[in-house]
Structure formats: C-alpha cells, structure tokens
Amino acid sequence: MIKNVNKKKFASNLAISFFFAAIFVLCYYFLLEDKIMPYVSLINTTAVRGEDIEIIAKYNIEAKRLIDYPSYGSKYATLEIPSINLTLPVYHGDNKKILRLGVGHYTGSYFPGENGSILYAAHNNAGLFHDLDKIKVGDIITIKATYGTFKYQMKEYKIVKETDLSAFPIQHDKELLMMYTCWPIDKGIAGHKKERYVVYAEKIGDEIEKE
C-alpha cells in the first residue's frame, strides 16, 4: 500500500513539474523573447568575431570588419532584388517581432562586407519573400547598408529540411549571402512548414562609404 501511495505521489509531482515547465516556456515564448534575444545576439556575434560590440555601424576598409555594430532590432540596410521587383528593410536580429517588419539578419552570421557568411530570413507571405523562388541564377542582389553598398550574384538554390543546419554554412573566409523562407510558398496559406527554400549568392562588388 505504501509503495502505491509513493508512486501516486511521484506521478502527481511529476505532472505538476511538467505543468510549471510548460508555463515557463509559454511565458518565454510570448513575453520574454524580445527582451532576451539582444543578449543572445551579443553572445553569438562575439563568438563569430571575438570582438567587443558597439552600437553604430562603422566600417574599417583595411580590416574588412565593422568597427561598431548596429543595435539589436535596428534597421541597418535595404535589400534590393530588381529581377523580382523586391525592396525590403533589413534588421539586425531575427526574432518574431523583427520578422513581422521585414528581413531578419541571423546574429550568428557576418555582416555585409566582412568576408564571411551572411544569413537572412523572412516570411513567405505577400510583401516579403513570397517571390524568392522566382530568383534565377545570375540575378543581382544588392544590400545597401548604412556604411556601404554590396552586390551579390545568385549562384544556386536548395530546398532543405528545417532541421538541416548544414544548408547554412557559416564560412569565415568567403562572403556568401544566404536567404531563406518557408517552403512550399503557398500564398495566403498559413501553417508550419517543414522545409526551407534557400538562395545562395556570392559577393561580386562593393562600394564602401568613406568617412
């Protein structure tokens, strides 16, 4: 009898623990994400560059590195893809709030001009990356940042599983622009998608704004 009581008590405590854990996850998801992500951003960006992070974007031409960085959540560039008549704002960070505004820049990747991989994401609804699958090999993609203009040429695309992190290589010695959205791109149809449409483009030129 005592063993049965202990088992019931254990099961009850376990159920209570799962309940409070679920409450915590929901609170984080809906209330704390936007507050916590700037600190995650700081850690991720430092891990990539090993440097201190400042607020305003300034570019060191010789080092090909930003001296200071845009604050989390701020718009620092405009993405232009003339072949699909697309012009969108680019923000530092990729949380839910940012992705409602435009293109999000994954904080664990490099910035334009830093000679490393850049990872951009946006929803596939109308007005954002709804025509990303219409970009063709050879098309030009321009990023007009606050510190200069950078041009890339589309090389290939892939349709990958959402869990396939190998599709987003963070290279440290070659500037590769990667842009992705949920796949399939069903305009007007909501719901979780298990695949991603990824566009890869290599840098072909830049025009740095000198101070």
Residues with catalytic roles: 123, 182
Contact 180, 196 (CB under 8 A): yes
Q: Sign (positive/negative) of CA torsion 135, 151, 102, 109?
A: positive
CA gap 105, 119 in Å, rounded? 6
Residue 81 has which token pair?
A: 């893809």
CA distance linking residue 180 with residue 149, whole number of Å: 21
Check residue 34 and report its DSSP letter. Answer: H
Q: How far apart are CA 87 and CA 83, in angstroms?
A: 11
